[in-house]
Amino acid sequence: MNSEYLYDCPFRQMDETPMTSDNMQMPMFQQGPGGMPVISAGMPALAPGGTTAVPPFPTPQQVQGMNAASGQFQDNFEMQPGAPVQQDVNYTQGFLRTQIGKRMLVSFLIGTNTYQDRTGVLERVGISYIILREPEGTQLLCDIYSIKFVRIFQ
């Protein structure tokens, strides 16, 4: 093997054993029922050096907050009730929840270039919808992911 070729990449320095068909296994194709091929990979091939190609399993480590005897996490933290998307005002749903009871004009994008405006009082905000009470008194369920603009009247 050419020494310049060997030292230009650190991975080539690891093992100079050439790869032959003796130390590699290819998947075997067999004809199955209905003419469909069946693939069987067999056992993992041995790498040059006698080790398997599969990396070793990681050893379990002690994690902070984990009980060493049982391997279970301790419940020493509190979770805030409700989905963060609905509680955090940085999300559309969270912000719109702060506007419940206000009259608004909501613009929806339908398809690629059609806008529809709906006016009403915001009654409820879900994860994927809002409910507007229209001036006629009817409730309108709207897809929150189609909303492009919301004009809130004071």
SS3 content of the chain, % helix, strand, coil (to 5): 20, 30, 50
At 45 the pLDDT is: 54
Q: Is pLDDT at 128 greater than 80 in this prediction?
A: yes
What is the three-state SS of 97-153? HCCCCCEEEEEEEECCCEEEEEEEEEEEECCCEEEEECCCCCEEEEEHHHEEEEEEC
Q: Is pLDDT at 125 greater than 70 in this prediction?
A: yes
Domains within the chain, CATH numbers bracketed = 3-40 (no CATH), 84-152 (2.30.30.520)
- The pLDDT of 145-154, averaged and rounded, is 95
Single-letter amino acid, residue 6 = L
User: How far does CA 72 lie from the centroid of its chain?
Assistant: 25
At 117 the pLDDT is: 96
Q: Is pLDDT at 4 greater than 80 in this prediction?
A: no
- The pLDDT of 63-67, averaged and rounded, is 58
Q: Is pLDDT at 150 greater than 90 in this prediction?
A: yes
Residue 91 · residue 97 · CB < 8 Å: no
At 73 the pLDDT is: 58
Strand pairing of 28-31 and 114-125?
unpaired
